[in-house]
Each structure stands twice: as C-alpha cells, then as structure tokens.
Amino acid sequence: MSRRCTRCQTVYAGDTRFCPRDGSPLVEVAGAAATPSGSGGSESSRTMVRAAVKRQLGPSVDQAGALQGEIIDGRYKVLKQLGEGGMSYVYEARELNTGNSVAVKVLTPKLIADDTAMQRLRREAGLAMRLNHPNTCSILRFGETETGLIYLVMPYLKGELLSDKETRTGPMTLEMGMPLLIQICEGLHHAHGLQIIHRDLKPENVMIVVDGDRERAVVMDFGLAKDRGASSLSKLTATGIVLGTPEFMSPEQVRGQDIDARSDVYALGILAFEMFTGKLPFEGRSAQEIMIARLRGKALPLGHHRPDLPSKLEKVLMKSMDANPDKRYSSTKEFGLALASSI
C-alpha cells in the first residue's frame, strides 16, 4: 500500500496516515508504490520519493454522479446513490475485502478544480479521521483514484435523519428528544476536545440509529468543521458555497468572526428548540428580519409554542442561544448537564 501527501506530493509506503514533513493527510494511490530515493541512508529516507502520481482527468471524474455498479479504486463496489449536493455525491458501497457497508462521498469536478476548497477539505478530512465516539461519524479513508476521483469513506449508518424524524413525528416529547440532545452534546464535546468545531450543526446532519430498543444520535458531516488552531475562514468559499446553514449559524459566525465551541452550543440550542416546537426561535417577515432578530438576540421563549414544557428547560435553551457567546454555556458538556437537570 502506498499513500501520497496532498501537499508536498511525497509518496510513503506502509500505514502512515499523515505526512511526517507537513502533517497533511495522506491519500491512498492506486497502483503506485513508494520507491527508494537512493541506495543508502536510513529506512525512513528510503521510503520517501518525489514521485507524485499525476492526476488523469477522464470520464470517471466527469461521471462522479453516475457511479452505481462501478468499483472505486479497486476497493469499493458502489451499490446505490444516497444523495447529492453542490460539493459531492454520496453512495452506499460495499468494501470488497471485508464485505462491510460504507458510505462513499465522491467530490464533484468543480470542487476538485478549486485549489482553495481542496486545501480546506484535506485539512478537515484529516481532522475528522481523529473522531472516535459513538455519537460522531468519522472519516475512515481519504483516497484518490488513478483517474482523478477524490473520495472520502465513512461508516454506513442505517437509520433516519433527525430532520425526517421531526417531520414524521412532529414536535417531540421530553422523553423522546432529551436523550438524543444529550447524546449530541456528548459527541460534540468529543470533537471539541480534538479542537474540532462542527460549524454546520442542523437536523439534516444528525442521524438517528436504532441500537436494539435504544435510539442513538450520530453527528455527521464534519466536512465544514474548523479546528480552533486554524485561521478564520471566509463565510463564502471561492465556489460560492456557504460554510454553515443560515438558520442555525451563531451571530459571530454570521459576522465572519472567529468561532469556538460556543458557536456549536448556539446551533444546538436552535436545534433543540425546533425539536420540541417544530419551529425556529426567531420570527420575521423576511429572511433579513429573521437574521437581524438573531443578531440582536431576540429569541422566542420555548413557552410561546410549548407552555407544557418545564420553565427550567426554557431558561436553559435561552442561555444557549444568547447572542453574546460569553453568556452561553462554555461547552456542550456543560450544556448537556444543564439539559439533564432541567426535567
């Protein structure tokens, strides 16, 4: 097995996942092998060469959205398409070596051609590979085929999106919604401990998986994630893709300011409000008015829609959605503890 650094193009043999030189994630290169850089030197020097595999743009790249039945990189048999978006196509596939089901996200040619977007994705894929928690969905592999397809492999989660569950059940009871919220808090706290901020938390990015008689919430799609050590990113990328969903973005994220874990606390507060009421906590006659209301911190109280719910829960959610991050819960762990004690 050989892997190539996405930044310096050095090829490495073995199971190394990150470049020792610059820390970039390594992508597996089909049909390539690391060759010695010389006959002498240490073992480490013999595993590094400046032999980048040239990307050959061909039909497979152009057909990123039509891969059903194909075998990707000699590893994954594509079974069916699960969805598509502006940046990628998502497929269910079977790993040939193990027979396990996986989800494969294949990037669009437009994104591949955008160097800035690709640099961000490579960095964030490397971050998501570090996730290891039952309430988060990690990236298992970041690979590139000989024909130039760039793909990410994730565990295949069989379940129901939280957004679909909300549509099907309507506003949730405390017994149904509270365990899911606390699990989401735990998953995000794990990510925050690895210096990863989600940035785009919303019901469409949470999968509800049934484990026996228990539901498990799994936070997905850390593709917009941002590590706290990185420099601030623009709200819009060069491809015009919004980093974050406006209805759930914190005021500081809307303004393009630096964000931390408290931004995810804010988004989770809005998500919780929607779970229990079926509505968003900000009102206005237009999208602009709703945006202004959020920047000014004028969230509706929970009792406006659900007077049957505990007043203590209303106070917890109002604190999580405060426009001033200094007045919110400092972590999702603290938020989760407050939620648990509110019922």
Strand order in 11-13's β-sheet?
Answer: 11-13, 2-5, 26-29, 141-144, 150-155, 101-107, 88-95, 76-84, 71-72
Domains of the chain (ranges; CATH) run 1-54 (no CATH), 59-155 (3.30.200.20), 159-340 (1.10.510.10)
Q: How confident is the model at residue 100 (pLDDT cuts 50, 70, 90)?
A: very high
Measured CA to CA, the distance from residue 201 to residue 5 in angstroms comes to 30
Winning range, highest mean pLDDT, from 105-109, 131-135, 233-237: 131-135
Three-state DSSP class for 241?
coil
Assigned token pair, 323: 């426009």
Q: What is the pLDDT of residues 307-334, one digit of tens each?
A: 999 999 999 999 999 999 999 999 999 9
Q: How confident is the model at residue 230 (pLDDT cuts 50, 70, 90)?
A: very low
pLDDT above 90 as % of the chain: 50
Q: How confident is the model at residue 177 (pLDDT cuts 50, 70, 90)?
A: very high
Assigned token pair, 189: 């706290």
Whether the predicted pLDDT of 298 surpasses 60? yes
Q: How confident is the model at residue 57 (pLDDT cuts 50, 70, 90)?
A: very low
Beta partners for 77? 71, 94
pLDDT at position 290 is 79
Q: How confident is the model at residue 16 (pLDDT cuts 50, 70, 90)?
A: low
DSSP per-residue letters across 276-334: HHSS-S---SSHHHHHHHHHTT-PPPGGGT-TTS-HHHHHHHHHHT-SSGGGS-SSHHH
pLDDT at position 135 is 97
pLDDT at position 79 is 96
| Residue 332, phi then psi, degrees to nearest 5 | -70, -25
Q: How confident is the model at residue 293 (pLDDT cuts 50, 70, 90)?
A: confident
pLDDT at position 118 is 79
Whether the predicted pLDDT of 142 surpasses 80? yes
Winning range, highest mean pLDDT, from 80-94, 99-113, 122-136, 159-173: 159-173
Q: How confident is the model at residue 121 (pLDDT cuts 50, 70, 90)?
A: confident
Taking residues 119-140, report their average pLDDT. 88
Residues 6+ apart with CB under 8 A from 156: 92, 93, 100, 101, 102, 103
pLDDT above 70 as % of the chain: 76
Whether the predicted pLDDT of 172 surpasses 90? yes
Q: Tell me the residue type at 133.
A: H
Whether the predicted pLDDT of 21 surpasses 70? no
Whether the predicted pLDDT of 163 surpasses 80? yes
pLDDT at position 35 is 34
What is the residue-averaged pLDDT of the chain? 81
Winning range, highest mean pLDDT, from 56-70, 146-160, 318-332: 318-332
Residue scoring higher pLDDT (54 or 135): 135
Taking residues 225-249, report their average pLDDT. 47
Of residues 15, 62, 115, 200, which has the active-site annotation? 200
Is 114 assigned a catalytic role? no
| Least confident among 67-81, 139-153, 219-233 | 219-233
Taking residues 23-43, report their average pLDDT. 48
pLDDT at position 238 is 33
Residue 340, Cβ density class (10 Å: 0-12 exposed, 13-18 middle, ≥19 buried): middle
Measured CA to CA, the distance from residue 333 to residue 312 in angstroms comes to 18
Residue scoring higher pLDDT (248 or 120): 248
pLDDT at position 223 is 55
Kind plus residue range of the DSSP H or E element containing 230 = none
